[in-house]
Amino acid sequence: MPKINLPNIKPIFAKSKLRKIVPAVFFLAAFVFFGLYFLPSGKPKLEYKILTPEYIMSSVYKVYGNEKLGFWVGKIILTNTGKAPAYDVKLTYKIEGCTDWSEAPQAYPVINPGSTIVDLYYPILSNEITKLSASTPSNLKIKITYAERPEGKTKEIDESKSINILGGHDFIFSSIPPEESVGNFYDIFSNYPLLAAWVTPTDPPLRGFSDL
């Protein structure tokens, strides 16, 4: 009987199967690459430090609301130590019994991992605090809001720090928090430009000098 040669179908089947596997593997590799390099992994983590002067002087309440003068009442150092950006970060401040809630004028659309922002609070205080006759305790209250994704759900951090408001006749030579003071003349006497507020034309030394 003559020998019949049958076609070798196994290699054809293997080649056909390989054609289906290669695109799938390539697609999976591309998806993993895109996820690792373009999509954020993990979550943001906001760590913060709040600084305030120990005392604020009610007799010169207007200077604290003037950013150009530099007499801030609150300072936040905010760092994202997480593995993803924090979005739409907003800071809001309030001094209990003295001000309403006010949002920081500076906007922070994104704080990337490892980045740090510093925000200063210059409150507009009411002249009602000039009626204080003695040191009065209060609290600086702070809200930090952010989202883990663009236009995502808002998360909130609430914090407060004690502060003292001096009476109308009291003066303190420095408003630099101990954490920031380096002990030089300026830090020890940072409020010396405000001494002029305690001088009036009717003070005995001035009247005596004018009579010379």
For 12-37, the pLDDT digits (tens) are: 545 555 455 555 545 555 544 444 44
pLDDT at 65 over 80: yes
The answer to whether 53 and 73 have CB atoms below 8 angstroms apart is yes
pLDDT in tens, 82-134: 999 999 999 999 999 899 999 999 989 999 999 999 999 999 998 889 889 89
Residue type, 106: Q
Are both 22 and 63 inside the same structural domain?
no
pLDDT band for position 193 (cuts 50, 70, 90):
confident
d(CA 108, CA 159): 19
- Which tokens go with 144? 């930090």
Q: What is the CATH number of the domain that holds 147?
A: 2.60.40.10
Are both 72 and 169 inside the same structural domain?
yes
Q: Which of 1-5, 51-55, 82-86, 131-135 is least confident?
A: 1-5
Domain count, the chain: 2
Phi then psi for residue 159, to 5 deg, are -145, 160
Mean pLDDT of 163-170: 91
Are both 122 and 35 inside the same structural domain?
no
The whole domain housing 136 covers 46-197
Nearest to 75 by CA among 208, 211, 176, 152: 176
d(CA 94, CA 122): 11
Nearest to 173 by CA among 161, 152, 188: 188
Are both 185 and 98 inside the same structural domain?
yes
Is the residue at 202 inside a domain? Answer: no
Mean pLDDT of 47-70: 93
d(CA 55, CA 176): 10
Are both 119 and 166 inside the same structural domain?
yes
pLDDT value, residue 182: 79
Q: Residue 20, SS3?
A: helix
Task: Indicate the pTM of the whole model.
Answer: 0.73
- Given the DSSP bridges, would you call strands 46-51 and 74-80 parallel, antiparallel or unpaired? antiparallel
Mean pLDDT of 64-79: 94
Q: Residue 207, SS3?
A: helix
pLDDT value, residue 73: 95
pLDDT value, residue 21: 58
The answer to whether 57 and 194 have CB atoms below 8 angstroms apart is yes
Q: Where are the alpha helices (DSSP H) in the chain?
A: 9-38, 185-188, 204-210
